[in-house]
């Protein structure tokens, strides 16, 4: 598993994605990454993670703020 902040962000993106009823493949298509990338990011055994550009695009697609993916306090 990655470091705590990376995992927090990954978990929040997944939670919001699922709340919006969006599949991994749909999100990948919207942010112009390979369909396997989102699955790799969400798999704790993989080292893939989101960068700030990904998070900015994901926030646009999910209709939220990039801040929604971050904890209120430092971890």
Q: What is the pLDDT of residues 7-24, one digit of tens each?
A: 999 999 999 999 999 999
Angle at 3 between CA 11 and CA 26, to 5 degrees: 30
- pLDDT value at 2 more than 80: no
Specify if 71 maps to a domain: no
- The parent domain of residue 46 ranges over 4-65
pTM of the model: 0.94
Domain CATH code at residue 25:
1.10.260.40
Residue 60, in any domain of the structure: yes
Please write the tens of the pLDDT for every residue from 47-69. 999 999 999 999 999 999 999 99
Q: Is residue 75 part of a domain?
A: no
Is the CA virtual torsion 6, 7, 9, 14 positive or negative? Answer: positive
pLDDT of 1 above 80 = no
Per the structure, how many domains does the chain have?
Answer: 1
73 occurs within a structural domain: no
Cα distance between residue 32 and residue 70, in whole Å? 22
């Amino acid at each position: 598993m990655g470091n705590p902040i990376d995992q927090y962000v990954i978990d929040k993106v997944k939670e919001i994605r699922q709340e919006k009823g969006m599949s991994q493949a749909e999100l990948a298509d919207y942010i112009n990454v390979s369909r396997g990338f989102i699955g790799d990011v969400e798999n704790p055994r993989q080292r893939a993670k989101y960068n700030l550009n990904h998070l900015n695009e994901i926030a646009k697609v999910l209709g939220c703020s990039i801040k929604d993916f971050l904890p209120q306090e430092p971890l």
